[in-house]
Structures are given as C-alpha cells and as structure tokens.
A = this chain, B = another copy of it.
C-alpha cells in the first residue's frame, strides 16, 4: 500500500464502480477494493493490472482481489481473481489509480516568504510557495501552483491549473492550462546562438519566446531554450522526461513523447505524435514526420517521413539496424573448430 505520509487514498470503492469508471467489463463478483497494487504484492483487497508480457508469471500467481487485463490474457488469470477486461488495461489502471489517489492541491495562499511583484496578476485559487519569486508583469491563471524557490521571470504568462516545480526557472515564456513543470527545469533562457569568430564569438540576441501548450509535462532538469527569432513551441499533450535538451526554434507537435536525456538541436520540427526514446540526438533544421518512432540512443541526421521507425547512429530504418547488428555479430564471431 502506498505510504500514507506521501500519498493519501480517497478510500475503498466497489469494483463495479471502477468497472464503469473505465468502461471495462467485469468478470467475477463485485467486491470492495481498498487500493491499487502491483501484481506481486497485491492482496485480496487490491486491484492490480497486467499489461507487460514480462510479468505474466506474476499475473498467474497474483493474490490480487481483482485485475485489469485485456481479453487475450483472461485465460491466464488465477482462480478467484475478479477481472476487469479492458482494451486499454494500462489506461484503465491509470484512471482507477487517479480515482484512489486524486492530486492533493495546496490551499489558496501566497506564503509570506514568497516574493511577488506588485505588477503581477495572480489568479484565484493560486498557491505560491516559500521563497518563490514572481517578477514584474507575470500573469498566473486560476488555481496555478508555484512550488517553493521557483523563479518566474518578467511578463511570463502561465494558464490555469498549472504546476511549476520547486527550483524551476521560467522566463520569456507563455504556458497554457493544466501544464506541469517538474523541479529544477529551465525554460526560456537564451538559445546557443553566436557567430564563431577567432577574435571572440559574437552573441546573437535570442529574440523569440517559448510557447507551451495545455496538458504538457516537462521533466526535472530539462532545458528548453527560447527561440532566436521565431519561437520555440511545445504543442498540447506533450510528455517530456528528465534532462532533455530542446534548442532554440524547436517545434514539438501535439502528443509527442520525449524520453530522458534526449537532445534536439535548433530549428528542428517534430510533427504530432512522434515518440523519441531515451538518449537520442536529433540534428538541427530537420523535420521528423508525424508518428515517427526513434529508438533509444539513435542519432538522427536527416528528415524522416511520417510513420518512420528508425534506430542507430546514424539512424537507419529499424529492420536495417537489426541487420547491421546481426551482420556485425556474424563478422566478429570467433572461428569454431
């Protein structure tokens, strides 16, 4: 069970209630569910989920009172475990876990040690934590939550129901609604723009902004530089993990997923629903087509058409990458006698 010091449950629910919440089909008897839990530690009072085939054995032996599964996996269910059959078990789990553990928002308050400029406009229901600094002309929408020791620069606009993590620094940026920045994020600082010169590189003023959409999540210590002239743009519903680097003028389409430690160089565009796995590098001035999937640690040096699936550095189509790996393996096998 989740540690109640950190996670506060909303209390037991009927399984039938959970089934209707996620529009899943209940197989088995209705019962009281106290909590969500992983397959291997769940008890008769818990609901769990089975979505990754790696954990099939855990599913077959789980003690969970109920489990969310896809129709294909029903046959592996242990006896006595009620099933909640769903086309999207992980999504169903997400919704049920959200019901058990709703986000606990802080009270409306500007903590005394926060520093809020007189020209800032703070929406109703906002919380501004200890040591947070809100500079001149900032506009915060209703119910936005600014965590301690973050810094919001001059004239930044942040929409409603956003959350800005502790130690995070934002400048030259417009943010939509329901968007969340994790701790120690840096958004809106100057892009890496200068003219190389033997007498001393010459700084190019970075005259754009960062525009971030609604329902975006941006991981800890991620850095998003503002545009050099055009803006750096993050669409709606984008998920960005920790320690990601986005250069100036980068455009990230709606629904993109960018995993940890990725770097995207300046002026590159990701169309909607691109998935970039961890530690990938993408060169500058490229267009990555809609729905493209880029494997971990790849290096992308060319435009990619919509629906591409690539791996490797330099990146190649996934099948070709597999052949490269196999070929290299064959070439380097020690002689057999």
Residues of the B chain whose Cβ atoms lie less than 8 Å from the Cβ of A296: 281, 283, 299
| Chain B residues within an 8 Å CB radius of A212 | none
Which of B98, B281, B327 has a CB less than 8 Å from the CB of A331? Answer: B327
CB distance from A241 to the nearest CB of B (A): 5
* Contact A204 to B283, CB < 8 A, known contacts A221-B223, A242-B225: no
Please tell me which one of the listed residues B3, B95, B100, B202 contacts residue A94 in the complex, with CB atoms under 8 A apart: B202
Q: Give the complex CA separation of A52 and B137 in angstroms.
A: 37
Q: Is residue A145 contacting chain B, with contact meaning CB distance below 8 A?
A: no
Q: List residues of chain B with CB within 8 A of the CB of A195.
A: 88, 90-91, 93-94
- Can you name 25 A-B residue pairings with CB atoms under 8 Å? A2-B229, A3-B209, A6-B172, A90-B204, A93-B195, A94-B194, A94-B203, A97-B205, A97-B207, A113-B115, A115-B148, A133-B166, A147-B151, A167-B184, A186-B221, A192-B259, A194-B239, A198-B273, A219-B223, A245-B261, A259-B265, A279-B279, A324-B331, A324-B332, A331-B331
The size bracket of the interface on A is 35 or more
Identical copies of this chain, number: 3
Main secondary structure of the interface of A (DSSP, over half): loop
Listed in ascending order, the chain A residues whose CB lies under 8 Å from chain B are 2-3, 5-7, 36-38, 41, 52, 54, 88, 90-91, 93-95, 97-98, 100-101, 111, 113, 115, 129-131, 133, 135, 137, 147-151, 153-155, 165-169, 171-172, 182-186, 189-190, 192-198, 200-205, 207-209, 215, 217, 219-221, 223, 225, 229-230, 236-237, 239, 241-243, 245, 247, 255, 257, 259-261, 263, 265, 273, 278-279, 281, 283, 285, 296-297, 299, 313-314, 316, 320, 323-325, 327-329, 331-332, 334
In the complex, the answer to whether A200 meets B183 with C-beta atoms within 8 Å is no
Q: With both chains docked as a complex, state the minimum distance between the C-beta of A319 and any C-beta of chain B, in angstroms.
A: 9
Q: With a CB–CB cut-off of 8 A, which chain B residues contact A101?
A: 205, 207
Q: How far is the CB of A157 from chain B (nearest CB, A)?
A: 9
Closest chain B CB from A213 CB (angstroms): 11
Return chain B residues, CB-CB under 8 Å to A203: 94, 98, 217
